[in-house]
Amino acid sequence: MTISRARLILLACASGLLYPLSFPAFDLGAVAWFALVPLHIAVEYLSPGRAFRIGWLSGTLAFTGSMFWVITAMNVYGKVPFPIATLVMLLLTIYLGLYMAVYAGGLSWIRTTFPTLGFLPAPFLWVTLELIRTYFLSGLPWALFGYSQYQWLPIIQLADHFGVYGVSFLLVLVNAALAETMIWGFKAYRGFQIRSFPWPSSVAATAGFGVALFYGTTLLSSAQHAPTRTLSVGVVQPNVEQAQKWDVAFRQETMARYDRLTAGLGDNLDLIVWPEAATPFVFEMEPQYRAVVNDMARRAGAPLLFGSPALRRHPDGRPFLLNSAYLLATDGQILGRYDKQHLVPFGEYIPFHNSFLFFLDKLVEGIGDFEAGPGSTLLMFKPREKNPPTVTAATLTDFHVKFGVVICYEVIFPNLVRQFAANGADFMVTVTNDAWFGPSSAPYQHFGMVVFRAVENHVAFARAANTGISGFIDPYGRVVQQSPIFTQEALRGTIAVSHQQTFYSQYGDLFAYACAILIALLCLTGYFSHDTEPAGGEPAGRPA
């Protein structure tokens, strides 16, 4: 059985257009459960080489729709000319489309080599490629398939064992089973001689979905009754325009805005959080403005966490910057500092700057000479005295809480956040400046990823954005409070303090690596024992 070139292209385009609809700000998460069905149907009728090309088309469309905001960030805020910004975005999405190309080509090869397996290897291959995308060339795990389900809390609870990759696995498993069932139906309708209904993939998808839903529903129900110690936290969203953020003439207004919003949080807070690069100056290098920040912390009566660049020097005297978050006590003492460890390529540094990308130094406005921090540093403070919900040996001692901070882009890396939880973080804070994204889907996509970091590690998150979304997320991914974007906000919330470690916190991406090992073994077996290209070239349709 064959299918026309035009229909194959339409099928590829269908998946490419459906994929971004499942992510914010479209938020049609239900679409993800069938978005890849057209691509799988196309793969059934193609050789690995042609499947690769069709997958590349589908993937390029999918990531262009998911990451169109790159043009806004580069053109409006980075001052890169629009044609160049568009070209950079297309180069990025063409690169990301390669992962879907490899998926389609690889799945076709596996189907040719192991026809009895059906589409069962599909989710293992997909997760393997998502894992590679997370780490290869600094990593860009944006728009991983599982993130599309950030609003469906019962389904995503399995991330506490398998990470976001587990949700991606389930989505692809269901897509593959639906596609295989449809292919079987097409062949049966046309009178082709086929063996039987594709039970293995259908049973696996139904069982996987059922177990995930049961586990998540049960976990959320039991979590409602678990006693927890809580903290009162305030977050400030000043909404300082990007063009004014580092304008010396606007410093007084910026600090006055922080002062007003911080005062509006009220009293009896355990912690106040300002966003990434909150101070429009280098905190340690400006005594006059440092005194202003110290005074705000004193009047607020709570430790203040805020972002500010830190200037350091190499042994040879060359200066460099750190993107830092300071924890300031009410008496002005610096209780700790976290330095961002995973920097943004083309935002905080230019990769290959000394070789073939030297010209970007004159094109991209605002790229600093930042360097990475040392690692997952925990910060610690003593909260206000109050009666704990349960009395234990721990609460009878001098109680301090430890927390981790991730700055902006870092929160999209599952293993990076996991390291804070594994090291004993009681809760997490993420600070960001999403003004770079403008009024696009990116702030909503960025916020949705924080939901998964909370679920994976069962830690609450407080999030402060220059403009956002700011808000609070509980240890099970429930959004307790969130702000609109491009507004001035002062949010006060209560977050849980817990020190339980999930399976994911302890073992990380074990599931994803297991998928990669299985795919590697399958490929090695197929390579050494099967001819990858059947005689006659194009397959005429495989048995269901």
Q: Determine, yes or no, domain membership for 454.
A: yes
**Where would I find the beta strands (DSSP E) of 357-414?**
378-381, 401-407
Is 358 domain-assigned? Answer: yes
Catalytic residue check, 515 = no
pLDDT at 368 exceeding the cut of 60: no
Residue 542 domain flag:
no
- Count of alpha carbons within 13 angstroms of residue 78, beta-carbon side: 26
Please report the pLDDT score of residue 532 as a whole number.
Answer: 44
Residue 301 in any domain: the answer is yes
Mean pLDDT confidence for 221-231 = 81
Residues 420 and 401 occupy one common structural domain: yes
Whether 276 is catalytic = yes
Instruction: Assess whether pLDDT exceeds 80 at residue 534.
Output: no
- Do 204 and 255 sit in the same domain of this protein? no
Do 210 and 332 belong to one domain? no
176 and 263 inside one domain: no
Residues 379 and 473 grouped into a single domain: yes
Distance, in Å, from the CA atom of 13 to the CA atom of 260, rounded to the nearest integer, reads 50
pLDDT the model gives residue 531: 52
Give residue 538's pLDDT band: very low, low, confident or very high (50, 70, 90). very low
Q: Model confidence at 397, in pLDDT bands (50, 70, 90)?
A: very low
Tokens of 224: 């409602």
CA distance 354 to 417: 31
pTM of the model: 0.91
* 340 in active site: yes
Pairing state between β 479-482 and 304-313: unpaired
Q: Where is pLDDT greater, at 2 or 442?
A: 442
pLDDT at site 187: 75
Question: Both 147 and 258 in a single domain?
Answer: no
Residue 150 in any domain: the answer is yes
195/334 same-domain check: no
* CATH number (domain holding residue 408): 3.60.110.10
Which of 51, 54, 65, 131 minimizes the C-alpha distance to 93? 65
Specify the range with the lowest mean pLDDT, choosing from 112-121, 128-137, 297-306, 362-371: 362-371
Q: Enumerate the β-bridge partners of residue 156.
A: none
Is residue 107 included in any domain, yes or no?
Answer: yes
Assign 268 to helix, strand or coil: coil
pLDDT at 191: 62
What are the DSSP E strand ranges found in 189-277?
A: 229-237, 271-273
Q: What is the largest CA-CA distance in the chain?
A: 83
187 vs 473, higher pLDDT: 473
The count of structural domains within the chain is 2
Tens-place pLDDT, residues 4-15: 889 999 999 999
Domain limits at 282? 229-497
Q: Long-range contacts of range 196-200, CB-CB < 8 Å, 24 or more positions apart?
A: 196/544, 197/544, 198/118, 198/119, 198/544, 200/118, 200/120
CA distance 23 to 348: 26
Residue 543 lies in a domain: no
How far is Cα 23 from Cα 17, in angstroms, rounded to an integer?
A: 12
Give residue-wise pLDDT tens across range 313-330.
888 888 888 999 999 999
pLDDT: is 538 or 337 the higher one? 337
Q: Could you tell me which residues come within 8 angstroms of residue 415 by beta carbon, excluding any fewer than 6 positions away?
A: 134, 508, 509
Looking at residue 529, its pLDDT comes to: 78
Residue 261: its pLDDT value, please? 97
Looking at 44, 276, 456, 489, which residue is catalytic?
276
Which residues does residue 322 pair with via DSSP β-bridges, in sequence order? 310
Is residue 246 domain-shared with residue 341, that is, in the same domain?
yes
- 540 within domain boundaries: no
Return the minimum-mean-pLDDT range out of 131-135, 230-234, 355-359: 355-359
How confident is the model over 245-268, as pLDDT tens digits? 888 889 999 999 999 999 999 999
Residue 340 is predicted with a pLDDT of 95
The active-site residue, picked from 180, 187, 340, 515, is 340
d(CA 305, CA 394) in angstroms, rounded, equals 25
In the block, residue with structure tokens 């297309």: 90
* Active-site residue, from 180, 187, 408, 489: 408
Residues 156 and 241 in one domain: no
Burial of 414 (0-12, 13-18, 19+ CB in 10 A): buried
Q: What is the DSSP secondary-structure string of 144-181?
A: -GGGGGTT-HHHHTTHHHHHHHHHHHHHHHHHHHHHHH
Q: Are residues 102 and 182 in the same domain?
A: yes
**Do residues 51 and 43 make contact, with C-beta atoms less than 8 angstroms apart?**
yes
pLDDT tens for 408-464 read 999 999 999 999 999 999 999 999 999 888 889 999 999 999 999 999 999 999 999
pLDDT at residue 544, rounded to an integer: 38
276 shares a domain with 182:
no
For the chain, the average pLDDT equals 89
Overall average pLDDT of the 235-239 stretch: 97
